[in-house]
Amino acid sequence: MQIDRIELFHVAMPLIYPWRTAYGEDAAIHSVLCRMTSGSVHAWGEATPFAAPCYSPDFSGAVYQINRDWLAPAVVGQNISSGAELQQKLLMFKGNPFGRAVLDTAWWNLESRITGKPLHQLLGGDQTDVVVGADFGVMDDVAELLPLVDEAVAAGFPRIKLKFRPGWDLPMLRAVRRNHPDFTFHIDCNSGYRLSDVALFQEVDELNLAMIEQPLAHDDVLDHSKLQQQITTPVCLDESIKDPRHVQQAIELGSCRIVNIKPGRVGGLTNAVIIHNLCRDAGIPCWVGGMLESAVGASLCVSLATLDNFTYPADIFPSSRFYVEDLAEPFLELERTDDGTPMVRAAEHQPEPNEKRLQNLLLEQCVVTP
């Protein structure tokens, strides 16, 4: 397809309540959206790296700028026939996976519009229903957390993720496990620990978790392999997997037994599918994570999660979980499988921003043409 026009939008989306993790707290989610046009057809992409470089080196202001000045000019006016070809056009630019993802996700969405084929089918998915889990961030007190966990268990969520950081770690986890001795939990450390904390994770072993997500440094695979050798709970890599090369290294080193794939973090849907396939071939299960995107980005994650090696319930949230009113329409809704398990459904047509809400949340915008 010929890429005729690229419009970029940097937005700040206020949360219902702050999202607290090992790396900090966000009261609003900063995101970069792209409207890509070919002829008379347009489609949207999104990547959500947050306002500050705390989750990863990328952050929303930089993602907007590198697209405005470098990445979008490298592809606009070009005839691009595949996601792989788009990634090749950007190969000269180092790093910046969230920046690449803005364009890559828009390209896939545009290809879906032009061909009339639902995005999940283009990616290789053969289902529409994606089972999801529940997540809880860091809170002021364990007494605040426990009834929320009870509610999520009663609501039928198949697993719960708990943010885990120094000062909000073993006592919290033990309290949750006492109340639900057989339920599926895992913890997400967001790079909050070091290999010298191995004794802590050996205590975590006793609590029978599904996994420990990204316990060590955001760019590490070597120390994770050493940690995995000393504990029985599976290590899951998240922040460390930024492209297919990183997952190949992690597989070779034995750094993890499960991988979280977020389209933004790995450079878009093209790389996400490659990483999914590499893990599948190595016998490593995957699951899809989210970055609190608007319904634009969240729906892209749902489409990805229909692939066959995504076997652990996804981290994809309905619009109402974090936003009073989502930026995009239709909102992403929580539904139920036949047995009552919470799930989301891959869309036939991807959501688009509501123009009025987009302008209300806008920090900066630009148009890139040939």
CB under 8 Å to 339, separation ≥6 — which residues?
none
Dist. CA 137–CA 214, nearest whole Å:
15
Q: Which of 94, 163, 242, 356 is catalytic?
A: 163
Q: Is 116 helix (H, G, I), strand (E, B) or coil?
A: coil
Q: Which residue has the tokens 């729906």?
A: 299
163 as an active site residue: the answer is yes
Six-digit token pair at 333? 């809704």
* DSSP of 19-42: EEETTEEEEEEEEEEEEEEETTEE
Dist. CA 250–CA 136, nearest whole Å:
27
Q: Is 105 helix (H, G, I), strand (E, B) or coil?
A: helix
CB under 8 Å to 4, separation ≥6 — which residues?
37, 38, 39, 76, 77, 369, 370
Among all residues, which ones are annotated catalytic? 163, 262
